[in-house]
Amino acid sequence: MAYKTVTYALALAAMLAVPAMAQAQQANQPQTTQHPQATPAPAAATFITKADPGQYRASELVGVKIYNPQDENIGKVNELLVDKKGSIIGVVIGVGGFLGIGQKNVALPYTAISWVDTPPAPPQLDPPAAPPAGGAGPTTPMPAPAPAPQNQVQDYPYRGMLAMTKAQLQSAPDFKFASEAASQ
């Protein structure tokens, strides 16, 4: 019985000593004043669950061809410039050259380009010629095969439209990225 009493007394002493030792260690450390507002609270995040039509994937904008009002291909998107707030401020367009050789980069504000989500209408074909006289051909035209259904909503524009000529872009000043400009 005495053995049990001593065991309980030692256990109780140990439980009381641990908090006292912790308080003694804290007393030896320098005091820092913590203000409840000194640490900013995490911002409440609003999650986006889907993209709407007309919201493009930036990775898919690279490579989109740029056309002028005369429907001439005048370049393609090589890069997008994004500021620290996440806004696209510029579009870097590759112009000139052949297969990327001799091509130069020109940058324009993102708002200078009109993005088109649908391909242009195909050119109207002349109606088929009438079959030769004498019944050598069918008298009723064969119906054209129905076009395959296409997804009408894409995550990228079909093309960009810019009110400039290829010559104007080629004579524009070269664009240099910050890392390129710093080394020169």
pLDDT in tens, 107-153: 999 999 999 988 877 777 766 565 566 555 555 666 666 666 665 66
Given this model, what pLDDT does residue 171 score?
Answer: 92
pLDDT at 7 over 70: no
DSSP annotation of 78 reads E
Rounded to 5°, the CA angle 27-33-39 comes to: 130
| Radius of gyration in angstroms for the set of CA atoms belonging to the chain, rounded to a whole number | 36
Domain ranges of the chain: 56-120+156-184
pLDDT tens-digit readout, 68-111: 999 999 999 999 999 999 999 999 999 987 766 788 999 999 99
pLDDT-derived band at 164, boundaries 50, 70, 90: very high
In this structure, the strands spanning 114-116 and 159-161 are antiparallel
The whole-number average pLDDT for the span 178-183 is: 76
Total residues belonging to the chain: 184
Q: What is the mean pLDDT of residues 28-34?
A: 54
Contact 78, 92 (CB under 8 A): yes
Query: In the chain, what percentage of residues exceed pLDDT 70?
Result: 59
Verdict on whether the full-model pTM lies above 0.85:
no
Q: Domain 56-120+156-184 carries which CATH code?
A: 2.30.30.240
- The yes-or-no verdict on residue 10 having pLDDT over 50 is no
Predicted confidence band of residue 12 (pLDDT cuts 50, 70, 90): very low
**Predicted pLDDT at 122:** 78
For 76, the token pair is 């393609």
Distances (CA, A) of 156 to 65, 73, 117: 12, 18, 7
Rounded to whole angstroms, the Cα distance separating 60 from 155 reads 7
Average pLDDT, the chain: 76
* CB count in 10 Å sphere of residue 93: 28
